[in-house]
Amino acid sequence: MVMPTVLADRFAPLDYPEYANNHVFVKTAGNHGLYNHSHEHHNNHGDHQNLGLAKQLIGEAFRQRVESVDNEFCNPGDEDPFFVADLGEVYRQHLRWKLNLPRVKPFYAVKCNDDPKLMHMLATLGTGFDCASKNEIELVLKMGIDPSRIIYAQPCKTNSYVRYVAEKGVRQMMFDNPDELRKIARLFPDAELFLRILTDDSSSLCRLSLKFGASLDSTDGLLALARELGLNVMGVSFHVGSGASDPKAFLKAVQDAHWVFQQAATHGFDLKTLDVGGGFCSDASFEDMAGVLRNALDDYFPAHSGVNLIAEPGRYYASSVYTLACNIIARRIIGEEHSQANGTSYMIYVNDGVYGNFSSIMFDHQHPVAKILRAGKRFLFDTAAAAASPDANAIEYSVWGPTCDGLDHITESIRFDTTLNEGDWLYFEDMGAYTMCSATTFNGFSNDHDVIYVCSEPGALALLGRL
């Protein structure tokens, strides 16, 4: 029997008391912030049960928090946005990765979400870390991670950062141009280098080839220069773009990488590693993408080739872990007649927006979908009534953020069967990737929001030492 657990990291400004009701999380003495749910659950019914348990734990965490907030009397900030994060989802995503890409070791892209709890879970699962700056590398090293599990995956690096990683023993890094090779030769000649090649990322959400990657007609010259400078080229890397949607992009990139491997051999390099980058989504597209990549790797870099295979997934691990709750802070009626029959619609304003955790709308081309968490006294999480209505006669809403900028617009139009009022709550799923990491304090709004952690997987609890 397993006690599902909430890891309550930053319950501010409220501290939850002891409750007798068995539908809330109970703080127990000596548990260092653990909040234990009083129901026990069997752990031998597979993923379906654990997914159901995940919804239950997330819902109960939301219920306890929102029902503790009285908008008429609460202290400033009590109704601020907050996340619920299920660390069990990280564990499930890792098992999914190992099932579909068993030969490829993931190096988590820290830039996607640097939440220490998420990164600790990934470190415990054995992943490496893809870092792009001194601060990201320092964050990982402070977790006690060996430098060999870090890739400085930034093709154009700051001089002082190169000196820093040389001092700390982080040897793996990227290059894609002659100037970068000369910089490395001057500052860190013992580095283990990956040649980042250009790929077709035209089908991705965020294209990277516009900024990074050596074209195939330049790779021979770069390899020749690396040999002349006495540098140690260990492998090839590519990135098909963040949020890729065309599986064939992986096939072409693997073919190109194989050609560069052969080219490197003519310069006396014995390449040992292929880095297939990121681009993996957490939705149902992953299996198709992984299938194409897996087959390409088996064809061009089979197991007997002795080539190590690594990747840099970010959103794949982080996106579905986090669910965000926002409070409706204001409402405006649109339309001459204030009645649904005459086509009334509402503008609703929530206390988070595109300058905050919805920055993914502007920077990552995401389209978060609002659901109703609590309306009046009704708690609607994970019910049919929470979702948008297909009825064209349902009440229409547009959803706006809290700043004074007209660009702070979350949803142009969504319909619900429920009338929403000031003080009600909405929630948004899949909010873990490129959200909190790029939130700002524009207009004086905080970018430091509470995260309530739950864990719906017994295996993850065991790894965290919570059983």
Gap between the Cα atoms of 271 and 260, Å rounded? 10
Phi and psi at 376, nearest 5°, equal: 65, -125
Closest CA to 289 of 302, 277, 280, 298: 280
| Buried residues in 104-114 as b, exposed as e (16+ CB within 10 A) | bbbbbbbbbbb
Q: What CA–CA distances, in Å, run from 82 to 108, 130, 187, 446?
A: 24, 27, 43, 11
Pairing of strands 172-175, 192-196: parallel
Alpha-carbon dihedral 451, 387, 245, 176, rounded to 10 degrees: -20
Whether 455 is a known active-site residue: answer no
- The catalytically annotated residue of 74, 131, 281, 404 is 404
Cis link prior to 402 (omega < 30° from 0)? no
Instruction: Give the number of other CB atoms < 10 A from CB of residue 139.
Output: 17
Gap between the Cα atoms of 350 and 401, Å rounded? 5
Phi and psi at 295, nearest 5°, equal: -65, -40
Query: Please, is 413 exposed, middle or buried when counting C-beta atoms within 10 Å of its C-beta (0-12, 13-18, 19+)?
Result: exposed
Gap between the Cα atoms of 354 and 364, Å rounded? 11
Closest CA to 112 of 98, 125, 131: 131
Residues 105 and 128 sit within 8 Å (Cβ to Cβ): yes
Active site residues: 404
